[in-house]
Amino acid sequence: MAITLNESAVTAEALGRNARRQRLLTPSRVKDSRILLDRWVLGAAGHSDIDVPSRNLVWFQVLEGEASLTCPDHDERLTDSHIVFLPPGFRGTLESARGAALLYAEVPNAARFDPDFAGNPPRFRVVDWTREPVLDSKHDARKRIYIVTPKLFGTKAIKGEMIIYPPGTEAANHHHEGAEHFMYVLRGCGTAYANESPIPVRSGDLIYYGDRERHYLKSEGDVEMAFVEFFVPGVYQTVWAPGASICTWLPTGRNIRGEKPAREIEAHSSAEAASPQDV
């Protein structure tokens, strides 16, 4: 059954010096969930240590502000253009001089979802999603940017993308087999459907769908709606409702900045269970 909540309804708890977190997806909220999700907020001069358990993986996306991530081998300056992948056993420190907010997601025992994970664990990575290719939907006005993929992060345990809906855009009804996933609305508003039941959604909302739950979204209002969505595991089957158009994505030859992208991705369908080799 779908779960929706707005970040404003979740109590914050202390995380570090002038830092706090809101636990959005927890075992108590979603029984047997494969994903744990927090929203972290660092105030001015905020600071928090990061310690990833040896069997888990973590990724986080900066939503606003700027932060610095430091560890023995890396010193990264991060903005809202960045997605960061942290491998098992990572230890570091996240700081912000003026404040920052981010989504922080963790997959416990990630080897369950990737047979190569334990023997060949993925490395630390930072991706600037604004330089990744923009793909246009063949059937409507949506745009897609892949932000968490096997090619980018080196594991099949997770997969993620950013989807942009111009006003009035509606996707096709479908469900996924073999994965659960969540969406976090970055901006705009609309209606999310879960097994054909409508749910109003807006900026700051989390939408969680379980395995095989039918769903689709429609943007409303006069501004575009954008959200990020993540799947665990990253290999699954998508099944469309009878008569629905199968999502097909076409290269635009540019990134969201309107420039040449960091790499090329060929046209492909979302009906493919595994990510294409260039994704």
Topology of the domain covering 9-128 = Jelly Rolls (2.60.120)
Q: Report pLDDT digits (tens) over 11-68.
A: 999 999 999 999 999 999 988 789 999 999 999 999 999 999 999 999 999 999 999 9
The rounded distance, in Å, linking the Cα atoms of 28 and 30 is 6
The rounded distance, in Å, linking the Cα atoms of 277 and 31 is 33
Q: For residue 273, is pLDDT > 70?
A: no
Q: For residue 274, is pLDDT > 70?
A: no
Neighbours of 258 (CB within 10 A): 8
pLDDT band at 277 (very low <50, low <70, confident <90, very high): confident
CATH 2.60.120.10 fits 130-269, yes or no: yes
Give the pLDDT score at 32: 75
User: Domain map of the chain by residue range?
Assistant: 9-128, 130-269
Identify the H or E element spanning 153. Answer: helix 150-153
Is residue 9 classed exposed, middle or buried when 0-12, 13-18 and 19+ CB atoms within 10 A define those classes?
exposed
Predicted TM-score (pTM) of the model is: 0.94
Fold match between domain 9-128 and domain 130-269: yes
How, if at all, do strands 82-86 and 57-65 pair? antiparallel
Reading the block at residue 180, the tokens are 């659960």
Share of the chain above pLDDT 70, in %: 99
